[in-house]
Amino acid sequence: MKSRYVIIASALFLSVTSFAQKNEIKAAEKLLKDGKSEEAIATLTAAEYLTANAPDAEKAQFLFVKGNAYYDLSNKKVDTDKNLILAAKAYQELIEAEKVSGKAKYSSQAVVSVTQIKGKLVNAAIEDTKVNKDAEGAEKLYQAYLLEKKDTINLYYAASTFVNAKEYDKALKLYEELKVLNYSGKATYYYAVNKVNNQEDFFNTAADRDRMVKMGTHEKPRTENVPSKRGEIYKNVALIYVQQGKVDEAKKAVSDARKANPEDSSLLLTEANLYLETKDMDTYKKLISEAVERNPNDVDLIFNLGVISAQAKNSSEAEKFYNKVIELNPKYTNAYINMAAMKLEDEKNIIDAMNKLGTSADDTKKYNVLKKKREDLFKSTIPYLQKAVELDPSNPDVSKTLLNVYSALEMTAEYKALKAKM
């Protein structure tokens, strides 16, 4: 008799609990309808403990109202980012709860809201990075990734943005997650220009794009191949370890990456760059030689070898690589630009030396030698800058640099002719 009484009492308790929660949800819904989102959240928070024993349908309704209340607050610019994330979490819990129960009453609406929130977080992150709020932007990108983990690109951008914010521990954590996922980022994108608005549209497949071009709604089809980002990921992991004084961990990270992805030449460059950073020039040269032997005609690889050599202040080596790129592909604009930029770096040293001289006869003689050296340096850049302007006339920085060279050499006719084209 006693045990029967306990069962009846428990049943009565569950019934009362359910009844209480229903009332709280209705009250919160009314407050939300009246525009009182904060009061609605307060009502739901006070009743949250009741959801533990609530039926699945009521739990889903509770989470739906909760998500709507937080979303409404965000739309009203009240702690926008924080409430966006809280709304998304409530919606995700709702979707999961209905998936378990097998009854999807609110899930479709919740999915729409989650997609909208993800877009808002990404857009807000972009705006943050524009005003140097990289840490805030990175956090939003990570939250966007958590909302839809199949979009691993957001995890990659979150990690990169944490690097920009110098939040290295957070960046490392996300890079490690990308490594576990074996994220590559390698992709092919398909575009064509919409004839109605003259804007370039993105297509998921070449077939979709080509069909629209054939129908006549689009023109100027374009395919963009995005290279693997594994090299950059492991490079950043290695550089973070170097920054933290963990050189052995850095070397192991890159070595493991190469073993897992032996065909990824970007990782070979990453390893070479690591040994360059740690001043191990013998290993660096060995890796560079291996890279060239494996891909003797890969202009992108050879160009990157030029960049690495230039960063190491090894001008003769860099010049050799840039000239090789130009030999293999005479239209490789960046090789001409980098060659000219590298040569122009020497101007500062010449100017500094000139400024230290006095007015004596001996100093005047030295000044004239340095002046001639500066003029010769400028002249040596002209063929590269002219070719870069010819290949990419819309690049204002290259044109301005060539104008400055013409001006310094008092090449008035050339200066006026180029200026007229800008």
Domain ranges in the chain are 2-131, 187-226, 231-328, 331-422
**CB 192 within 8 Å of CB 222:** yes
**CB 318 within 8 Å of CB 302:** no
Same CATH topology for 2-131 and 231-328: the answer is yes
Q: What is the band of 380 on the pLDDT scale with cuts at 50, 70, 90?
A: very high
**Four-CA torsion 404, 409, 411, 414, nearest 10 degrees:** -40
In this structure, which CATH number among 2.60.120.260, 1.25.40.10, 1.10.3720.10, 3.40.50.150 belongs to the domain 231-328? Answer: 1.25.40.10
Q: What is the band of 7 on the pLDDT scale with cuts at 50, 70, 90?
A: very low
Cα separation, 163 vs 235, in Å, equals 12
Q: Can you tell me which residue has the tokens 């230290």?
A: 356
pLDDT: is 136 or 187 the higher one? 136
H or E element at residue 22: helix 2-33
pLDDT confidence of residue 13: 36
Cα separation, 301 vs 388, in Å, equals 20
Give the residues across from 190 on adjacent strands.
Answer: 203, 223
pLDDT: is 167 or 23 the higher one? 167
pLDDT confidence of residue 263: 76
Give the residues across from 187 on adjacent strands.
Answer: 226
**CB 156 within 8 Å of CB 185:** yes
Phi, psi of 208 (to 5 degrees): -60, -45
Q: Which two tokens stand for residue 367?
A: 């000044």
Q: Which two tokens stand for residue 28?
A: 């919160």
On the question of pLDDT at 319 being above 70, the answer is: yes
Rg of the chain over Cα atoms, rounded to whole angstroms, equals 31
Average pLDDT of span 266-277: 80
User: What DSSP state is assigned to residue 166?
Assistant: T
Cα separation, 333 vs 130, in Å, equals 28
Q: Does domain 2-131 bear CATH number 1.25.40.10?
A: yes
On the question of pLDDT at 162 being above 70, the answer is: yes
Cα separation, 26 vs 21, in Å, equals 9
**CB 275 within 8 Å of CB 291:** no
For 372, half-sphere exposure in the C-beta direction (CA atoms, 13 angstrom radius) is 6
Q: What is the band of 134 on the pLDDT scale with cuts at 50, 70, 90?
A: very high
160 CB burial (10 A radius; 0-12, 13-18, 19+): buried
Helix axes 80-101, 134-147, angle to 10 degrees: 10
75 CB burial (10 A radius; 0-12, 13-18, 19+): middle
Please report, for the chain, how many H helices and E strands are present, in that order: 20, 3
pLDDT confidence of residue 251: 86
Cα separation, 241 vs 53, in Å, equals 48
